[in-house]
């Protein structure tokens, strides 16, 4: 039996969280990936409601905040993002490991409530490479990329607060490292 854990994964936009977590989830289909709520618009053709995020109006989001329905929520680049509480509690109660993919301030709030959580920061090899990847993804216009890069510099300063830092240079190596962390922390080894 593996030991269920809560994993909190952060890293600047474009650092490779989505790519690395897709690989981890393939290897561990039993893990529960928390779907966040956001007021951001879906990336056209790429994102689906209820799969990548729950896309909510500001009003609905505020209503859920007042109902204490989020473990944590944060404003980020003009939108609000939050972790719905109930699905996470239910999955942990069922003995499943859970992954939260959230930014650094949200990590602090979630960690305060789950001090046994395993925190992992996904870092790009450099800000220059981050810029190249963000632009290569073509999901944001130049202004939004610049905003995310400025935010990235701030987030990188907080990486020492995490238990693990995975540098996503070579993709296969980073995938292996994340998988190793998962296995060690869930006692699968
Ligand atoms: P995030 O989810 O952190 O915003 P993504 O997973 O979307 O980041 O990755 C950003 C872009 O960089 C994507 O186009 C992805 O294919 C690419 N990418 C991710 N990891 C690597 C890597 N190790 N080497 C080269 N490109 C990568
Ligand atoms: P994106 O718009 O690129 O999907 O996400 C922007 C940032 O918001 C990323 O750093 C992502 O990890 C973070 N994020 C996504 N969901 C949540 C959440 O539920 N809570 C918090 N605090 N951050 C989130």
Indicate whether 40 and 122 sit together in one domain: no
- Comparing 6-15, 80-89, 132-141, which segment has the lowest mean pLDDT? 132-141
The neighbour count for residue 115, using CB atoms within 10 Å, is 7
Average pLDDT taken over every residue of the chain: 95
Q: What distance in Å separates the CA atoms of residue 59 and residue 73, rounded to the nearest whole number?
A: 15
Residues 104 and 185 in one domain: yes
Between the CA of 81 and the centroid of ligand 2 the distance, in Å, is 6
Would you say the CB of residue 38 lies under 6 angstroms from ligand 1? Answer: no
This prediction's pTM = 0.94
Q: Are both 19 and 111 inside the same structural domain?
A: yes
First to last CA, the chain: 11
Confidence at residue 139, expressed as pLDDT on a 0 to 100 scale: 80
Same domain, 188 and 123: yes
Q: Do 74 and 126 have their domain in common? A: no
Give me the domain span that covers residue 182. 1-31+97-189
Classify each residue of 54-73 as buried b or exposed e, where b means 16 or more C-beta atoms within 10 Å of its C-beta. bbbeeeebeebeeeebbbbb
The whole-number pLDDT of residue 1 equals 63
**For the chain, how many structural domains are there in total?**
2
How far apart are the CA of 1 and the centre of ligand 1, in A? Answer: 33
Q: Is the CB of 13 under 6 A from ligand 2?
A: yes
Identify the CA nearest to 168 among candidates 106, 111, 115, 123. 123
Average pLDDT of the segment spanning 71-96:
95
**What's 126's domain CATH number?**
3.40.50.300
Question: What backbone torsions phi and psi does residue 123 show, to the nearest 5 degrees?
Answer: -110, 140
- pLDDT tens, residue by residue, 16-60: 999 999 999 999 999 999 999 999 999 889 899 999 999 999 999
């Amino acid at each position: 039996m593996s030991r269920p854990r809560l994993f909190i994964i952060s890293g600047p936009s474009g650092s490779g969280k989505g790519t690395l977590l897709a690989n981890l989830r393939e290897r561990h289909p039993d893990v529960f990936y928390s779907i966040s709520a956001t007021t951001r618009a879906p990336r056209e053709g790429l994102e689906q409601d209820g799969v990548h995020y729950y896309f909510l109006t500001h009003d609905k989001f505020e209503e859920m905040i007042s109902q204490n329905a989020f473990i944590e929520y944060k404003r980020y680049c003009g939108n609000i993002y939050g972790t719905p509480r109930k699905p996470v509690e239910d999955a942990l109660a069922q003995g499943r490991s859970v992954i939260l993919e959230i930014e650094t301030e949200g990590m602090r709030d979630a960690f305060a409530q789950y001090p046994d959580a395993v925190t992992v920061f996904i870092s790009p090899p450099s800000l220059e490479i981050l810029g190249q990847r963000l632009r290569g993804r073509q999901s944001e216009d130049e202004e939004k990329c610049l905003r995310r890069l400025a935010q990235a510099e701030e987030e990188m300063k907080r990486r020492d607060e995490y238990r693990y830092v995975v540098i996503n240079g070579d993709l296969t190596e980073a995938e292996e490292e994340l998988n190793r962390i998962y296995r060690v922390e869930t006692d699968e080894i």
